[in-house]
Amino acid sequence: MAGHETHYTLPRGSFEKPAKVLIVVAPYYRDIADQMIAGATAEIEAWGSKHELIEVPGALEVPTAIAMASRMSNYDAYVAIGCVIRGETTHYETVCNDSSRALTLLGLQGLCIGNGILTVETRKQAEVRAATDDQNKGAGAAAAALHLLALSRKWGAPRKNVGFRPASEEYKLAGDVSSSID
């Protein structure tokens, strides 16, 4: 069982300016979610940072809530928490794949996200992974988000208007070919 293996973890970092972290949790399995929240909040506080917590109906809504928060608020990092246990239908694959893919895409856009959505075969596997005195995946997700934030701060502030930019009025006038098409 993976719970008895030893895994390397990066040393905990610190920030000159404390981070503001949003924990987004899908509490479908409340006891498992609570363990993961406890692990995440302890890790965030150990980094000298602050957190807020919101709940959403399910794992599929976690990425949407993070995307909304990134556009409408001022969080530095995000921790996704939830649990999907295999059932009798293919819904398991849809929820696992789509929530993970959406979180990955948000991360590739520059958000600092720790993915703590457990995808397991049994409740026992979830309990082992969630337990703060065992695998403590809530703390692991928080640490991942904060390590990414540390990299982001090391490499500089987020840049606005990277990529395509609207043409300036001067360029539009000089480069306007529509009048010569008549």
Residues serving a catalytic function are 91
Q: What is the DSSP letter of 4?
A: G
Give, in degrees to the nearest 5, the angle at Cα 9 between 3 and 15.
135
Decide: 144 and 44 in contact? Cβ < 8 Å. no
The burial class, CB within 10 Å (0-12 / 13-18 / 19+), for 88 is: exposed
Q: Residue 140: which residues within 8 A CB-CB, separation 6 or more? A: 9, 39, 43, 114, 116
Structure tokens at 60: 């599929």
Q: Is residue 83 helix, strand or coil?
A: strand
What is the rounded distance in angstroms from the CA atom of residue 31 to the CA atom of residue 35?
A: 6
Please tell me what DSSP assigns to residue 110: T
